């Protein structure tokens, strides 16, 4: 009886595991998700440099091989989720350190900081998805792409907080201005060239204006978010 019960329990567990995997694949494509984490050390270093100083970069087109986009480790222009994920985690840890230095640290405050940042990312991605839908953009732009571009702001967030902690408010505002302008330039060039693609830039003038407004709106929103996520951490 015990063996039968164990076998039955194992069967139920296996069936439940299969159901979970099936439901997971319905909403998240694991292969697509792996693509955004296909990075190496060289890519991460170059991408961070591009995010901080994008002005000399010439070719912004995403590279393809047999109609399939190359993974990030083979194409600097490909969006990734590794840097945004690591930057978000670093931001939460850095926020805890900043609050501790100011003797304002508590688990509740740190949790509120992390959850607020996460909610804003979700809201931004949803707003971009709505904008893409309204602008009837014809591209391979997915939720993962938008999440990646939205998450790159945390690189600027980290630099701004670090400069504020090291050099006070003057260093903070200099870093804020620099990273904000660099990120705006990066977002405009990336969305118009890599994400929206040349095919989406055709069509009626009204559609082109919507696409332009979407790109500029996404770029202009980044400095506001960087400031909102950092101003309370630097005093």
Give residue 124's pLDDT.
92
Q: Is it the case that residue 62 has pLDDT exceeding 70?
A: yes
The pLDDT tens digits for 117-139 are 999 999 999 988 887 777 666 66
Q: Is it the case that residue 143 has pLDDT exceeding 70?
A: yes
In this structure, are residues 225 and 120 in contact, taking their beta carbons and an 8 Å threshold? yes
């Amino acid at each position: 009886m015990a063996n039968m019960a164990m076998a039955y329990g194992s069967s139920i567990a296996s069936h439940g595991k299969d159901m979970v995997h099936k439901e997971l694949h319905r909403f998240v494509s694991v292969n697509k998700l792996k693509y955004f984490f296909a990075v190496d050390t060289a890519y991460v270093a170059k991408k961070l440099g591009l995010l901080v100083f994008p002005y000399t970069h010439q070719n912004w087109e995403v590279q393809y091989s047999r109609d399939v986009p190359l993974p990030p480790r083979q194409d600097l222009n490909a969006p990734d989720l590794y840097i945004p994920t690591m930057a978000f985690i670093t931001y939460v840890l850095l926020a805890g350190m900043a609050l501790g230095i100011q003797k304002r640290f508590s688990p509740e405050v740190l949790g509120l900081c992390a959850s607020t940042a996460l909610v804003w990312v979700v809201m931004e991605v949803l707003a971009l998805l709505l904008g893409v839908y309204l602008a009837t953009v014809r591209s391979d732009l997915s939720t993962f792409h938008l999440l990646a571009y939205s998450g790159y702001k945390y690189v600027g967030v980290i630099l701004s907080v670090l400069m504020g902690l090291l050099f006070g408010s003057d260093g903070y505002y200099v870093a804020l201005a620099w990273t904000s302008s660099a990120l705006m330039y990066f977002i405009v060039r990336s969305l118009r060239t890599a994400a929206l693609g040349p095919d989406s830039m055709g069509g009626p003038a009204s559609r082109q204006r919507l696409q332009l407004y979407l790109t500029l709106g996404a770029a202009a929103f980044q400095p506001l978010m960087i400031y909102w996520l950092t101003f309370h951490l630097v005093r």
